């Protein structure tokens, strides 16, 4: 299979490229710079959607992972505009390019996020659950809608609603490791908010499964089957690292430090399960939090 990948230098993208290459697929990275000599890559311009040469016509599948990091800093008006632009507008332009290709790819696996559901407290959330409210929920709705033109063209589209990806190489877990290793970790807010997570290894397997499973279309929750509360996550990470976790972060302190982003990423509660993934025959290698952390951290 020939797979074109955007966001190939990110946490998930770089792991995906290694996985696909190892199993014998040809991977074409869609990059925003001029490809280096000998690099199997094509220049992609998110501002116009243009892809150099005939990239979409030569790819059997496209995995679209590119997007502004939502946790890179406080959400100013300018950053929120960049987040929306990098997901909604860039996806719409990419999809337009794919849809107009003489030989479009058979499948598009497009990243989304469990932010789609908003803050839902203890409600058990599947792909059939209604969307939530707030900035991230709105962006996710528009992000997924931007891929609709590809489906109308006959491309099988899978929208992966991704949870917290566990890896020491990046993302939320990487940011937690230093304070937890110093014994400075602790519960955030009340600790009762649900965290829906997935080990990086399972995340990559889920993308491979979505590429290969013709019955999968539309929204698919990319999370482990065992969401945990923030308090349980804190206890488990501390146990795996062999350190105490005695310094809670009150909700007001999180909001003071991170502003609106604190409510959307740290204090929100999303108890999401992978109903469609499991119904399609996917098997998790790391279904429990402690097992996933021990694997990813080599503990």
pLDDT tens digits, residue range 269-289?
999 999 999 999 999 999 999
Residue range 2-297, CATH number: 3.40.50.720
pLDDT tens digits, residue range 149-167?
999 999 999 999 999 999 9
Please tell me the pTM assigned to this model.
0.95
> Does the structure show a pLDDT above 70 at 93?
yes
Q: What is the mean pLDDT of residues 92-114?
A: 93
Residue 171 — very low, low, confident or very high, per pLDDT cuts 50/70/90? Answer: very high
> Alpha-carbon distance 97 to 147, whole Å?
11
What pLDDT score does 53 carry?
Answer: 64
Angle at 148 between CA 145 and CA 154, to 5 degrees: 165
> Does the structure show a pLDDT above 90 at 47?
no
% of the chain exceeding 90 in pLDDT? 82
From the centroid of its chain, how far is CA 119? 18
Instruction: Decide: 108 and 153 in contact? Cβ < 8 Å.
Output: no
What pLDDT score does 73 carry?
Answer: 81
Nearest CA among 72, 284, 32, 286 for reference residue 170: 72
Residue 57 — very low, low, confident or very high, per pLDDT cuts 50/70/90? Answer: low
Name the residue with higher pLDDT: 36 or 294: 294
């Amino acid at each position: 299979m020939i797979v074109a990948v955007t966001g190939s230098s990110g946490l998930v993208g770089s792991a995906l490229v290694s996985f696909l290459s190892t199993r014998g697929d040809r991977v074409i990275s869609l990059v925003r710079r001029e490809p280096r000599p000998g690099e199997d890559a094509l220049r992609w311009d998110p501002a116009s959607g243009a892809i150099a040469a005939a990239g979409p016509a030569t790819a059997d599948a496209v995995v679209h992972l590119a997007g502004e990091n939502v946790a890179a800093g406080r959400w100013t008006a300018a950053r929120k505009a960049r987040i929306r632009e990098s997901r909604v507008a860039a996806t719409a332009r990419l999809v337009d390019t794919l849809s107009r290709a003489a030989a479009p790819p058979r499948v598009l696996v497009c990243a989304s996020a469990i932010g789609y559901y908003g803050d839902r407290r203890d409600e058990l959330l599947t792909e059939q659950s209604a969307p939530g409210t707030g900035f991230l929920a709105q962006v996710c709705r528009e992000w997924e809608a931007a891929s609709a033109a590809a489906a109308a063209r006959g491309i099988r589209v899978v929208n992966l609603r991704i949870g917290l990806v566990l890896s020491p190489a990046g993302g939320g877990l990487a940011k937690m490791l230093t304070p937890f290793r110093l014994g400075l970790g602790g519960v955030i807010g009340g600790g009762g908010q649900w965290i829906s997570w997935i080990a990086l290894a399972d995340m990559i397997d889920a993308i491979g499964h979505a590429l290969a499973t013709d019955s999968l279309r539309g929204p698919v929750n990319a999370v482990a089957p065992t969401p945990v509360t923030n308090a349980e996550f804190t206890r488990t990470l501390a146990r795996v690292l062999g350190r105490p976790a005695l310094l809670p972060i009150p909700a007001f302190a999180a909001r003071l430090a991170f502003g609106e982003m604190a409510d959307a990423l740290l204090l929100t509660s999303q108890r999401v399960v992978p109903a469609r993934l499991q119904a399609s025959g996917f098997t998790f290698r790391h279904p429990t939090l402690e097992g996933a952390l021990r694997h990813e951290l080599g503990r």
